[in-house]
Structure 1
Amino acid sequence: MKQRGSWKIKSSKEIYDNAWINVTEHSVINPGNAEGIYGEIHFKNIAIGIIPLDEEYNTWIVGQHRFPIDLYSWEIIEGGGQIGVDPIESAKRELAEEAGIVAENYELILRMHLSNSVSDEYGLIYIAKGLSFQESSPEIDEELVIKKVPFNQLYKSVMNGDMTDSLTVAGVLKTKILIDQGVI
């Protein structure tokens, strides 16, 4: 019998698999010694978030409809990075694809697990500086609206609860602290 921490895994079966996720159901004995099941979602990509900042502390956000929650969402630039590929390369690709921005410098500001109760999804957030601009080229399944906003306006939107995407909220709050500390 396999074990994860104090959980014992009696058996596991794959429920679903595609290019992005794998869902497994485990028959378990939990820490209280009761039998049950535990569903686990394995993500096949790393979530990558990018906050581009120009010299005046303006940034760019993306608006798009999010299928799973059936809502329109304003977010920092974000996408998936293949495991095994340098995350900086994935950040560069996403920033250019979604916003048409090329950055000279990337600084990793945050590593986070996004929903560790049911998934292993892992995210990285970068600040991008030294910006230049080109034509964006979103993927075929993306219908994006790009908006330039002062960073402090974005921060206020997060604080007002207008933005709920986890990478956006965490990244903006961390960036605000770094700006206030004079680090970036």
Structure 2
Amino acid sequence: MNPLVSDLLAHIATGSSDLNESVLESETVWTGRFLKVQRDRVGLPDGKEASREFIRHPGAVVIVPLLEDGRYLVERQYRHAVDRVMIEFPAGKLDPGEDGLACARRELIEETGFDAMEWAYAGVMHNCIGYSDEHIDIWFARRLCFKGQHLEEGELLHVHGATLEDLLECVRQGELTDAKTLSCLLWMQNLDGRGWTLPWKQVTVT
């Protein structure tokens, strides 16, 4: 391993208490259907104080579904906040107390109609650390079996098959800009001949 990388990981593992902030006061500014806006007054390491406003999010999952022919299932869906149709992998938020794999299976069936006989957890990503505590668990799915799509009311999307090369070209052209999907592409590239591995496990499909 590169010595600079080893040094960085060592610092992360041992903690960086000289950078930590302490919460002095906290208030919930606004509560929505599943998001909360919070404002904290914090103490800085240099002894000063600052205000932090951020969004509390329940967490989510993203799924990378692998087809038998080597392509991946992706979606095209209009996203109101950015006023455009986005290319992305299936994803959805965690329900209270919901297991990550259970959420991934539920969202994959709802959005694409497929369940999978094998699943692998690839880790977590934080997509908006400047203003939200949202975390997204990354799951890979293979040996897909079609069960029937069950979109939520008001949820409209198109499902397509695409190769890794297709998706990378979409990134190069500026068509694919979704953060969670870009993180998945990093995994996909490194699984494709660079030695990264996934802990695949079988599940029962009924």
The bucket for the TM-score relative to the shorter chain is 0.7 to 0.9
The 5 Å alignment of 1:90-129 reads 90-129=103-142
Q: How many pairs does the alignment contain?
A: 179
Q: Structure 2 counterpart of 1:136, which letter? A: Q
1:123-148 Cα offsets, whole Å, 9 max, x none, are: 11111000111321111131111112
Q: Deviations over 1:57-116 (max 9, x none)?
A: 111111111111112101011111224211111101111110111110111113112222
For residues 36 and 191 of structure 2, the distance between their equivalents in structure 1, rounded to whole angstroms, comes to 36
| TM-score normalised by structure 1 residue count | 0.87
Indicate the residue corresponding to 2:89 in structure 1.
76
Q: Paired residue for 1:163, among 146, 164, 176? A: 176
Check if 1:64 corresponds to 2:77: yes
Query: Cα offset for 1:159?
Result: 4.1
1:17 corresponds to 2:27: no
- Partners of 1:39 and 1:178 in 2: how far apart? 38
> Is the Cα contact below 8 Å between 1:112 and 1:123 reproduced in 2?
yes
Of 103-112 and 11-20, more deviation after overlay is shown by 11-20
Relative to total residues, which structure has the larger helix share, 1 or 2?
A: 2
The one-letter amino acid of 2:78's match is H
| Root mean square deviation of aligned Cα | 1.9
Unaligned 5+ runs, structure 1 = none
Question: Hey, what does 1:139 align to over in structure 2?
Answer: 152
Once the two structures are aligned, what percentage of the paired residues are identical? 26
Unaligned runs of 5+ in 2: 1-18, 199-206
Tell me the distance in 2 between the aligned counterparts of 1:133 and 1:24.
Answer: 41
> What one-letter code is carried by the residue in structure 2 that aligns with 1:35?
E
Q: TM-score, normalised by structure 2?
A: 0.79
Q: Within the alignment, does 1:153 sit opposite 2:184 as a pair?
A: no
Equivalent residues in 2 for 1:6-45, closer than 5 Å: 6-44=20-58
Choose between structure 1 and 2: higher strand proportion.
1
